[in-house]
Amino acid sequence: MSTAQFPDEQTSTGEFQRQEDAFRDWVKPDGPFPAAKGRYHLYVSLACPWASRTVIVRHLKRLEPVIGMTVVDPIRDDRGWAFREGPGYSTDPINGFKFLSEAYLLTNSDYQGRVTVPILWDKETRRIVSNSDDDLMRMFNSAFDALTPSRLDLYPPEHRSDIDQLNELIYQTVNNGVYRAGFATQQRAYEEAVIPLFKTLDQLEERLSKQRFLLALFRWKPTGGFL
C-alpha cells in the first residue's frame, strides 16, 4: 500500500476516484452563453491530452479566429498551472492571471477541487463556462457553426451511438484508466485498472489496423484536401 497523491479522490480500497467536472454550462443560442466571435477564450496546456483534444477540434472546425486560446507553462509546481513566457506558452493576455486557479476562484470563490485544463472562459460574465473537455469538443463541433465556414461534423447523428460506446470504453479504461493505474495505492486496485487498460489498447490496435479514419483525420488540412 502506498500514500495517495490526491487523498480526496481515493477510496478506502485504494482506487483513484476522479472528481466530477465542476463547471458544465453550454454555449447555446437560448442560454446565458450564446455563441459570439471573440467572447470565449480557451485556456489549455499542451502537456495535457484532455486539453489537446479540444485544441484539435478547435483547429479542425476552423475556430481559431472565433475562440481565442492561451497555453499555460507545461511545468507545474505546487501552485498549479501558471502563465509565464516561454516557447509555445505565454502570459495571460485576457485577464492577466498569474495562475489558472484565479479563473476557478472568480467563478466559485469556494472552489476546493483540483484546478484542471482545459477551461472555456467567458470574457463577458467573467467566469468559466465549462471545464469538461468532452462537452467542449461537442460544443466546438456545432455551437459555433454560424461563425465558421467549416461544415465538418465530427459527431454525425448516424454514428453517435457507436462514438458514445467507444468513447465510454476509452474513457473508462484508457483516459481514466492510466490515472486509476498510476494513482492506485493497493495492488488489487492497480490490477483492476492496468489489465483492462492493456486489453483496450490491444482492441484499439486491432481496430486501427483495419480502419484508419483517425489517421486520415489528423492528416486533414483545414484548407481542404489531405496533407
Ligand X SMILES: N[C@@H](CCC(=O)N[C@@H](CS)C(=O)NCC(=O)O)C(=O)O
Binding site for ligand X (CB under 6 A): 18, 21, 48, 50, 80, 114-117, 131-133
How far is it, in rounded angstroms, from Cα 38 to Cα 5? Answer: 38
Judged by beta carbon, residue 176 or residue 203, the one nearer ligand X is 176
Residue 155 appears among annotated catalytic residues:
no
Judged by beta carbon, residue 80 or residue 196, the one nearer ligand X is 80
Residue 48 appears among annotated catalytic residues:
yes
Q: Grid coordinates standing for 83? A: 502563465
Which residue among the candidates 48, 89, 104, 190 is catalytic per the annotation? Answer: 48
Output b/e per residue, 180-209; b: 16+ Cβ within 10 A. Answer: bbebbbbeebbebbbebbeebeeebeeeee
Q: Nearest distance from residue 51's CB to ligand X, in Å?
A: 7
Q: Nearest distance from residue 20's CB to ligand X, in Å?
A: 8
Judged by beta carbon, residue 73 or residue 133, the one nearer ligand X is 133
Q: Nearest distance from residue 223's CB to ligand X, in Å?
A: 30
- Among residues 31, 206, 64, which one has the least CA distance to residue 56? 64
Contact assessment for residue 38 and residue 68, using Cβ atoms and an 8 Å cutoff? yes
Q: Nearest distance from residue 200's CB to ligand X, in Å?
A: 17
How far is it, in rounded angstroms, from Cα 55 to Cα 69? Answer: 9
Which residue among the candidates 40, 89, 111, 179 is catalytic per the annotation? Answer: 179
- Report the side by side order of strands in the sheet with 127-130: 68-71, 40-44, 119-122, 127-130
Q: Nearest distance from residue 21's CB to ligand X, in Å?
A: 5
Q: Grid coordinates standing for 28? A: 447555446
- Please say whether the dihedral angle defined by the alpha carbons of residues 52, 139, 207 and 198, taken in this order, is positive or negative: positive
SS3 33: coil
Contact assessment for residue 8 and residue 36, using Cβ atoms and an 8 Å cutoff? no
Catalytic residues: 48, 179
